[in-house]
A and B are shown apart, each in its own frame.
Chain A
Amino acid sequence: MSLVNTIQKSIFSRPASKLFTLSLGIASLLSLPTLVYSSEITLGMSTALSGPAQALGKGVKLGVEVAFKEFNAESGNSGKKLSLKALDDGYEPKRAAPNMHRLAENKDILAVIGNVGTPTAIVSVPVANKEKIPLLGAFTGAGVLRKSPPDRYIFNYRASYAEETASMIDGILDSGIKPEEIAFFTQNDGYGDAGFSGASKALKNRGFDNIDSLIHGRYERNTTNVEAAAELILDSDIEPRAVIMVGAYAPCAELIKLVKEELPDVNFINVSFVGSRALKTALSDYAEGVIVTQVVPHFNSNLPAAKSYRVALEKYSKKNEPGFVSFEGYLAAQTFISGIKKVGGTLSRESLIDALESLKSFDLGVGPKAIYNADEHQASHQVWPTIIKNGEFQPFQWSEL
């Protein structure tokens, strides 16, 4: 009889334990939709905390964290606390995609905020859409985050690169510079493309169709191999008066140096993504007169958002000086905070999206009101040009060109 028992045991014990595991699995699956976020609201971030774009990643992270600290302090002990879990992708799409998957799979992460970069965004956006995790306030103006109609899970704070370059074209042309006198220096990827196509469209709008005749130098991402592009600009039969730059600060600085040596009067106009402070540092003696368009107002301005940003930064991160990048992070965080304040019932990824879409018109304190609804997922369309004067970024008018 012991034989029978032993065999029965050996037969039944395994399926039973399997069954148990299975039932646990089912139970955990069933509990998923009713997941309630604990008193701590955690947001994720996949950004460049190392590599050539680390200044941007760290800057945005700082702005977001400052805004969160400010919110946590305001909401008091009883309220929900915001926290940030940032992963490093080194501005590499190869690393950004697994990071996004990790964040999406972690059900404690409500949303992803302030990712830096266009090549990384190109891989992150599909993940966000597929995994149904909100991707908020990415530090990029690329069109991939700005589809029409917008992707449900993608929300932007800032103006697009196209809007930035378009505003540059308008400003340059308004200042009297001819379209033929405009040259382009762009990163040889989606980022550069986005900026260039925005400018091309603006030029076409202004009646200039011969885009291919314009000087367009490109460089390889993560290199400073800008000599060929510099040669192209310098060899041009028509001497350029303005170079629209869509690139990273190091190659941009390199190019500005090379070109300035031979053509000291050319205007260099960078998009916000270049990273104003890093560019200024890299340029050192060549910085004077370099123009950078911003998608945030000047951090030292008297706008309410700039004031509260400065106060918060002073309060929570004294060692860091105010800057455009961290201010953008701060503003991106503010749009998110406006969203969670609007959430009615249980806070979830979906309810957050619904809340953001129901914000309609809201004030971020940067002048014009921001708008979020089902057809509009971009809070700001404004571009603020700045110029480095006396070693500092200062507000700038295109007419000053």
Chain B
Amino acid sequence: MNRYFSLPQFSIKNLIALMVGISMTGIGVLYLVASSGNEKIISSQYEGSNALITESSVKQLYQYMTENIVRIHTLSQADSVDSLEKLGTRSALNEQLDSNVQIIREAASENAAIVIQLDKISGFSSEFVAREKKLLEAVRSVIDARNGKEAAAEEAYALGRKGQQLATKIQGVTAFESGKSKRKLKRLLKKSKALTWEFTLGELPLYNSVLEELSRKSANKSSGMQMSHVFSDLLLMLAEVQSATTHDELINLKENKANQLLTSSTKLLSSIEGEFAGHKKINPIVVELQALFTRFSELLSGSEGSVIQLRAKMLDSIHEEQIIAKQVEDLTGNMRSALNDLSLINQEIAQTTSHSANTAIQQSQFWINLVILVSMVTVTGLGFLIFQWISKPLARVVSAMKVINSGKADLTQRLPNASIHEIKVLSESFNGFVETLKETMSSVQSNASELGDLTQQLTSENHSLAQRTEQQSVSLQSTSELLEAVSEKVVLTQSAAGNALESSLKADEYAKQGKQRLDETVIAMGDIEESSKKILEVNTLIDSIAFEINLLALNAAVEAARAGEQGTGFAVVASEVRNLAGRSAASANEIKGLIDETVGRIRKGSEHLSRTDESIQHILSAVGDIDSKVEHIKDVTEQQRQGIHNINHAMEEVSSATQKNVTLVELTAEASANIDSGTASIREKVSNFKTSAAA
């Protein structure tokens, strides 16, 4: 696997730089893609928002137009100059409409279709203003005519009423005055009755009929009453004129009815004037009536400012107003359709721009996705490389360390070559360290094995010492048995050797000599004991050496951990270990010497024992010399036997000493065995360091 990635040597530094480089490139590309996409989206949205703004402006135009229609309606409904002036000469709404059109025009100057619609709207708007102006004039003229007509009509009505009242006054005065004579006559009649002044029977009805005739005449034929009727007709005429709705009607009223009525009224008035020329009360009324009538005629049908003329003018103005209103209505329809077109075009633009915005968003999304994908793949690859180049080699170093640590210290293992510079250096250092350790351990191992051999020799020597001590013991046993036999013979010869007191004494002396020899043997044996003690000490020494070797091994481990200053530390430790091995060898030699000495001493002991045997031979011959005299020296023999018994006892003591000797030898052997096992342990421990590939 490694060989697939054995690219040119990289350091972690380079790798990080590479990763950062790739990441930055990825981010950069992402930024470029996103920002270019954004720009497209923003520009599309801007166009879209333009379209929307235009839409709201179109709505605003609608609003203005609707408000204008309302205004036009209000305008046409205006009934006073005041309310007209409140509405203004030119609609502020139109100005706003125009300015909005201008704003849209600026915003959408590139769109020919919109511009065409805007041109249309502008055209309609200015036409609208012109029409509005005309309408305003028409309405004003209607108002003026109506106001003038109403004022004239009101004045005429008031004059008519006044005329009527004056005519009634004339009628009242004439009636009252004509009634005066009647009432006077009546009162006279009453009075004459009361005074019993009587008319003839036939005269009274005659007077009564005269009175009635007078009353009837004054009531019916009074010119005042006629005049009053004329004024009623004139007031009716006035009402007819007011309600006339066509020119024809007006012309007919004026030329036929009004003129006729006025002519007859003038005639009547002049006849009244003649009738009451000198009448104190009525004449001023007639004068007032004439002036009033002249004014009334003028107000009714005069050429300028009359009710008829103003009514005609008002009808004209209303007609004109209606025509203009119709035109405005048509214009409004045109404008509405132009606005609809504008709105449609605008919506199309909005849709298109929103479509291109969507496309831009999709494109941008695609590129962003692509860049993210590429970046992901690249980063994954890099991660794998990092795993291969850094993590894996590091893991190898760690597992190698663990192996060393676990006890199965395979010092033959080596780390493979790594691609990353830092890890390569680490691997090489590790390998160097293990190599050094391996060499150290090899020398320790060989030393330990040598030490082991020596210890085995010591053990075997000890074993032979033990065997010999055993033989010595057996010899002592047989000696003891012999002594037993001597003792028996002494008993046998006790009676015979009654006289052999002398011999017995001699024998006694020999026996004492033997005893002395045996004492010496005991001392020699004590020496052996001492030598054994020394062996113990050596043993301890070896123990401490083993300990120090152990320590050195520890040092070696520490040195291995340091690894940096490889080699030198390990050399020192190695020499120390070697030294210790030397000392171990010396100690082994010393042990050997001591063992030799021990052997020599034991030989001495044997010699002493053989001399003791000779002494006892002397005793036996002495005893044979005095055999005849044994009877005599029975008592002496008894003593002899006693003496042998003592010897026996001494022999037992020797035996126990020998036994003790045996124990000592065993202890020595045990110590030797301990040394051996210590050495074996060292060897075993050192042998954990696998120093050759074969093992």
User: B-contacting residues of A (Cβ < 8 Å)?
Assistant: 3-4, 6-7, 10-11, 220, 223-228, 230-231, 234-235, 258, 262
Contact = CB atoms under 8 A, between A and B. Distances in A.
A52 to B, nearest CB: 13
Contacts of A224: 169
Nearest to A262: B183
A231 B181 CA distance: 12
Dominant secondary structure at the B interface:
helix
Contact of B175 (A6, A7, A11, A231): A231
A235 B168 CA distance: 19
Given A3-B53, A3-B107, A227-B169, A235 B179 contact: yes
Minimum-distance CB pairs A-B, first 10: A227-B172, A227-B176, A223-B165, A3-B107, A225-B169, A225-B168, A228-B172, A234-B183, A231-B179, A231-B176
Given A223-B169, A224-B169, A227-B169, A10 B96 contact: yes
Contacts of A228: 172, 175-176
B60 interface: yes
A169 B169 CA distance: 31
B53 A7 contact: yes
Contacts of B380: none
Given A223-B165, A227-B175, A231-B179, 11 more contacts: A3-B50, A3-B107, A4-B49, A4-B53, A7-B100, A7-B103, A10-B60, A220-B165, A223-B169, A228-B176, A258-B176
A326 B96 CA distance: 61
B217 to A, nearest CB: 15
7 contacts: A220-B165, A223-B169, A227-B169, A228-B176, A230-B176, A231-B175, A235-B183
B503 to A, nearest CB: 157
Nearest to B182: A235
B172 A225 contact: yes
Contacts of A4: 49, 53
Contact of B165 (A3, A6, A225, A230): A225
A246 B96 CA distance: 66
A136 to B, nearest CB: 33
Nearest to B106: A3
A347 B583 CA distance: 135
A10 B183 CA distance: 88
A238 to B, nearest CB: 11
Interface string B97-128: 00110010011000000000000000000000
Interface of B: 49-50, 53, 56-57, 60, 96, 99-100, 103, 106-107, 165, 168-169, 172-173, 175-176, 179-180, 183-184, 186-187
Nearest to A4: B53
Contact of A3 (B103, B173, B179, B184): B103
Nearest to B46: A1
Contacts of A262: 180, 183-184, 187
A230 B172 CA distance: 9
Contacts of B172: 225-228, 231
A235 B172 CA distance: 14
Contacts of B60: 7, 10-11
A227 B183 contact: no
Contacts of B173: 227
Contacts of B179: 231, 234-235
B326 to A, nearest CB: 31
Contacts of A7: 53, 56-57, 60, 100, 103
A90 B184 CA distance: 40
B292 to A, nearest CB: 14
Contacts of A230: 176
B604 to A, nearest CB: 129
B99 A10 contact: yes
A215 to B, nearest CB: 14
A220 B161 CA distance: 11
A16 to B, nearest CB: 15
Contacts of A10: 60, 96, 99-100, 103
Contacts of B183: 234-235, 262
Contacts of A225: 165, 168-169, 172
A223 B167 CA distance: 12
Most buried by A among B49, B96, B165: B165
Contacts of B175: 227-228, 231
Contacts of B99: 10
Contacts of B53: 3-4, 7
A90 to B, nearest CB: 13
A225 B172 CA distance: 7
Contacts of A234: 179, 183
A61 to B, nearest CB: 27
Contacts of A3: 50, 53, 103, 106-107
Contacts of B96: 10
A226 B171 CA distance: 11
Contact of B56 (A11, A235, A258): A11
Nearest to B103: A6
Contacts of B100: 7, 10
A334 to B, nearest CB: 40
A232 to B, nearest CB: 10
A294 B299 CA distance: 45
Contacts of A227: 169, 172-173, 175-176
A182 B545 CA distance: 174
Nearest to B169: A225
A348 B176 CA distance: 56
A234 B187 CA distance: 10
A284 to B, nearest CB: 16
B595 to A, nearest CB: 115
B71 to A, nearest CB: 15
A4 B173 CA distance: 85
A220 B380 CA distance: 117
Contacts of B49: 4
Contacts of A231: 172, 175-176, 179
Contacts of A220: 165
A264 to B, nearest CB: 13
Contacts of A235: 179, 183, 186
Most buried by B among A6, A224, A227, A228: A227
B229 to A, nearest CB: 16
Contacts of A223: 165, 168-169
B353 to A, nearest CB: 15
A235 B99 CA distance: 84
Nearest to A263: B187
Nearest to A226: B172
A266 to B, nearest CB: 14
B189 to A, nearest CB: 12
Contacts of B106: 3
Please indicate which of the listed interface residues B103, B172, B183, B186 has the most CB atoms of chain A within 10 Å of its own CB: B172
Nearest to A2: B106
A7 B107 CA distance: 11
B262 to A, nearest CB: 24
Nearest to A229: B172
A241 to B, nearest CB: 15
Nearest to B167: A225
A6 B50 CA distance: 13
**Which of A3, A4, A228 has the largest count of B CB atoms less than 10 A from its CB?**
A3
Q: Which of the listed residues B56, B103, B176, B186 has the most CB atoms from chain A within 10 Å of its own CB?
A: B176
B57 to A, nearest CB: 6
A234 B215 CA distance: 14
Q: Interface centre among A11, A223, A224, A258, by most B CB within 10 Å? A: A223
A10 B100 CA distance: 9
A1 to B, nearest CB: 9
A131 B197 CA distance: 70
B93 to A, nearest CB: 11
Nearest to A223: B165
Contacts of A226: 172
A112 to B, nearest CB: 27
B151 to A, nearest CB: 15
